[in-house]
Amino acid sequence: MLVFWKERLVFLAVPKTGSTAYETALAGRADIVVSNPPELKHAPIYRYNRFFRPMFEKNGAPDMESLAVVRHPVDWLGSWYRFRRRPFMKGKPNATHHVDFNEFVAAYCQGDSPGFANVGSQAKFLEPRPNGTRATYLFRYEDQPGLRAFLEKRLDVTLETARENVSPQMELQLDPKLEGRLRRKFAADFELWDGIPAEGGTPAT
């Protein structure tokens, strides 16, 4: 999570959406950098609302806006799957070396997902709170030019980003029937991504 106090902007770090690269590029520009622990670095809306928003408001920033990046749900799961197949993950409970991508997604769709497939939900991460707290701006992960343009204008900076925490590259094919099941079970995640313009992002609604 990055906080830009003067600009009244918080960059929420949705996991597996490239937030670490922006943290590296903007850490020197941000007023607050929350890089650890992961539960705070990747604080979802409900945790932001509970812990960070009251702190900001008490210190004179009741008008803080927030930004988040959303990745296509299938691509997002593919990134998680590949991330957990890194060599050093072998033998760890959350590793995915023992399953193929379809088995990973099938496990994710279970009512009680096993640890290796328990990766949460982007829609749940960004779920608005009853008091109205929500992400103010949403960008597709695939729209890096739009995201950079927004940040450069808002923060008056020139951005240079490099890929970080890159997962192993591999071709992943999802069975169409399984994708249909995924779309039904996690309809909110697909609706979230579909609702963001392909270019330029959008104020969240």
Q: What is the pLDDT of residue 3?
A: 97
pLDDT above 90 covers what percent of the chain? 84
Q: What is the pLDDT of residue 205?
A: 52
pLDDT per residue over 17-43, tens digit each?
Answer: 999 999 999 999 999 999 999 999 999
Average pLDDT, the chain: 93
Q: What is the pLDDT of residue 200?
A: 80
pLDDT per residue over 87-110, tens digit each?
Answer: 888 889 899 999 999 999 999 999
DSSP state letters, the chain: -EEETTTTEEE---TTSSHHHHHHHHTTT-SEE--SSHHHHT--HHHIIIIIHHHHHHTT-TT-EEEEEE--HHHHHHHHHHHTTSGGGTTSTT--TTS-HHHHHHHHTSTT--GGG----HHHHTPPPTTS---SEEEETT-HHHHHHHHHHHHT--------SPPPP------HHHHHHHHHHTHHHHHHHHTS-SSS-EE--
pTM for the structure as a whole: 0.92
